[in-house]
Amino acid sequence: MLEQLYDFRSIKAIIGLGNPGAKYYHTRHNIGFRVVDSFAERYGAQWGEVELMQYAGALLPDRLKPVYLIKPLTFMNNAGRVLPFLLMKGIKPEQILVVHDELEKPFGKLSIRFDGSARGHNGLRSIIGVVGNGFWRLRFGIGRPEKKSLVGDFVLSRFSQEEEEDIMRLIEEAIILTEGGGR
């Protein structure tokens, strides 16, 4: 299979994965929400709400039409329920970028890739269940606890004070990576 090349100009929707509610906002699992919130702030997008999601249309540089910024309000395990909205708008899976936390990468390590499995991530599993594997992912490394049995509590925990001090810089790097491509 030919390696798919990332081109931000082809992206029509950015979905940030997370859980709704203030008590989850600063947790590791919600880094996707924080990245799309920063996109919205950067481009002056205003959030609206429909049944299952918050969404904003941000007019990004070199675009004739806005890019949809999406925060599913379904909780992580049902994130894929927002996909019919995008599909009805004519957006294809390969035009979607999903921003998510990644246990398999050390804290702060970022990468963009196309395709792949859910690797145990329930938000990705839900999206794959609706549109298959053929979408882009911005993988935001959050690290991994030593014991597999601690993963559930770990992803719902807050970043350490030292990590939180780096978050805004890392979110900015995630936006730059998203806009400029690369791995």
The string over 44-67, giving b where at least 16 C-beta atoms fall within 10 Å of a residue's C-beta and e elsewhere, is: ebeeeeeebbbbbebebeeeeeeb
Helix, strand and coil content of the chain, in percent to the nearest 5, comes to: 40, 20, 35
Q: Is 29 a catalytic residue?
A: yes
> Listing from the earlier edge strand, what are the strands of the sheet with 96-102?
48-50, 53-58, 67-72, 13-16, 96-102, 136-141, 110-114
8-state DSSP, 98: E
Q: Which residue in 26, 29, 100, 121 is the catalytic one?
A: 29
Active site residues: 29
